[in-house]
Chain A
Amino acid sequence: MPSSPLLQVEEVSKRFRVQGRELHAVEKVSFQLDAGKTMGLVGESGSGKSTLGRLVLRLLDANEGRIVFNGQDITKLSPKQMRPLRRDMQIIFQDPQASMSPRMTIGAAIEDAMAIHNIGTKAERQKRVDELLERVGLSTVVKYAFPHELSGGQLQRVGIARALSLNPKLVICDEPISALDVSIQVQVIQLLQELQKDFNLTYIFISHNLAVVEYLSDQVAVLYLGEVVEQGPAEELFANPTHPYTQVLLQSILKMPEDADKRQALTSIQGEIPSPFNPPSGCTFHPRCPFATDVCRQKKPERKLVGSQHSVTCHLAN
């Protein structure tokens, strides 16, 4: 049965004015995401991946484009009209410590969202807090604790419990594991996977960790200076990375070698990410691209299909 996607992002752009200058944070990004699936957004700092997540949630307003959630165009909804929809869209942050009030117990923090949306009685909400804590692998006594008494991994589980408290359809995971130790990262990834299966959650997974994005995502978009340079099904994109920037990103990951004589040469890409205030002409990646030609310096590349759903924004792709 063909159904419409849970989320449609169409040609969305966001510009910030900073000290009289204009910064293009997100430029004409489009994607669709079906219920129960995961969209991975990757890119380096300043690529616009977090801004894009906030645009989808309407925590920021897009300057152009349309966001359709569950069949409804939410781009222009007023805060009041957005409110009932907020239950369906939640976010998990990178730093669970910073996203939790230090003066609120864990139980109160989880209950808070339900109270704001007038869900259930106090007793029902507290029962739900217990269920949620258990579901994310924490003991129910944690509800009496304050954030500073928990470890980073435990707090991130609380952040997940809080996000789930309203039975959302869409969860934006904004670098949810970046601040955690490796052994804890895997625990949280596994938990996110289980919860997705159990509750048919739809994720937008924002991360600079390409391997984790590849592991978790169905669809992936690679962002550079606010623009999607490559996007498509995760399997296809990682099997056949086509944009020079995607290739550079993948080459920059230091994998554990099989043996000491199979170590990676530490060879680096030239240059730095340019200032978003003054992006380069033509293809914004051209100053760092090993294959750049005159046309790349002068003309903005168009999005091209290189597979049935795999697209690349590069003059040289075919």
Chain B
Amino acid sequence: MAEALLAIDDLRVQFDRGEDEVFAVNGVSFSIAEGEALGIVGESGSGKSVTLMSALGLIRENGKIMAGTAKFQGHDLLKMRPRQLEDIRGRDIGVIFQDPMTSLNPVMRIGDQIMESMLTHQYAGRREAFERTLQLLHEMGIPEPKARFRNYPHEFSGGMRQRIMIAIALACEPQLLIADEPTTALDVTVQMQILALLQEQRRKKQMSIAMITHDFGVATNFCDRIIVLYAGQIMEMADTRQFLLQPAHPYTMGLKNSIIEIGQRDRQLSPIPGMAPTLTEPPKSCSFASRCPFATERCRSELPALREISPNHHVACHRAEEVLAHAI
């Protein structure tokens, strides 16, 4: 296996809400290899965005990193001074967000915004940055780059704005791209266009991608490996193949069962009962136990560790082997 580009170890993040605290990330460890596309899947509040955004120093002010390391090429991002982190962010690590309209500067020409990232990081001089911006716009499938350079974000459609965001993120040729729900706000045909573009860029540049998504269809079709987060913990981590063929965590199975796909008119629905915990206390037992059909006394009293049940297949469930063997 290739060397880890980013290695997150035992990350713990807490938010202070005044009257109480939210334990958003509770000991998350994983790594992203060079050239790998990793899918980070979970529902709202699972910690999927917070995990990576904390590593990048991009969490809200009331968020505190309580423990852990996040080593990018061996250097701990969590110990860096803001200036050092700013150097890496946007140059070595590109980020794209769900809503390009709120991430782009509404009063700045899009061409200048793409150039800005190259100039800030001294990736290129003015002339070169301008040429590269036109090249990027072309690569992103934006017609008439020269004319469009001078347009403002509101003059583009949602899909085109997301292409501009990607151009900014890729401008300095990052080794890692963090894509936080990049297609969630887009229509399906546009989602397909954006994912095709990301896949092409990834192949061309040998870039790693961390794809944060709630959509199993996106994750399984795009990523090499998948992490399922719930209540700020990794429930399951597996190659996409294992994930598809042998999910071993009851939450993963429940989620997969919750997805209605084309051609399922006659199927019975079997929703996961209840809802996600509020996270106002650190987990002391399995966070999924109250919704789990297989939960036992042990699940309600003892926190399951993330363990490797077969090569590269990690599950945080006391009964993973039984679940896998359909013994229960």
Contact = CB atoms under 8 A, between A and B. Distances in A.
B189 interface: yes
B192 A267 contact: yes
A260 B255 contact: no
Contacts, number: 135
A210 B159 CA distance: 20
A78 interface: no
Contacts of B105: none
A238 B189 contact: no
Given A44-B189, A45-B187, A250 B244 contact: no
Interface stretch (A104-112, A123-131, A184-192): A184-192
A268 interface: yes
A272 B259 contact: no
A268 B221 CA distance: 14
Given A151-B275, A183-B271, A186-B271, A255 B244 contact: no
B272 A266 contact: no
7 contacts: A181-B276, A208-B188, A215-B267, A248-B189, A254-B218, A256-B261, A266-B199
A183 B258 contact: yes
Interface in B210-257: 214-218, 220-222, 239-241, 244-245, 254-256
Given A182-B255, A190-B271, A266-B222, A259 B245 contact: yes
Contacts of A269: 189, 192-193
B269 A190 contact: yes
Contacts of A189: 260, 269
A209 B184 CA distance: 12
Interface of A: 44-45, 151-154, 181-187, 189-190, 193, 208-212, 214-215, 234-235, 238, 248-250, 252-261, 263-264, 266-269, 272-273
B263 interface: yes
A210 B192 CA distance: 15
B271 A259 contact: no
B265 A215 contact: yes
Given A186-B269, A256-B220, 19 more contacts: A44-B187, A182-B214, A183-B43, A183-B254, A184-B275, A214-B264, A249-B188, A252-B192, A253-B217, A254-B218, A256-B259, A257-B221, A259-B245, A260-B244, A266-B221, A266-B222, A269-B193, A272-B157, A273-B157
B236 to A, nearest CB: 15
B2 interface: no
A252 B157 CA distance: 19
Given A181-B214, A257-B220, A210 B262 contact: yes
A211 B272 CA distance: 19
B189 A268 contact: yes
A264 B240 CA distance: 13
B88 interface: no
B59 interface: no
Interface string B167-210: 00000000000000000000111111101100100000000000
Contacts of A260: 220, 239-241, 244
Contact of A257 (B44, B157, B192, B244): B244
A212 B260 contact: yes
A175 to B, nearest CB: 13
Contacts of B43: 181-184
B188 A44 contact: yes
Interface in B258-297: 258-265, 267, 269-273, 275-276
B323 interface: no
B222 A259 contact: no
Contact of B215 (A254, A259, A264): A254
Given A181-B44, A260-B240, A253 B262 contact: yes
Nearest to A235: B265
B262 A250 contact: yes
A255 B262 contact: yes
A45 to B, nearest CB: 6
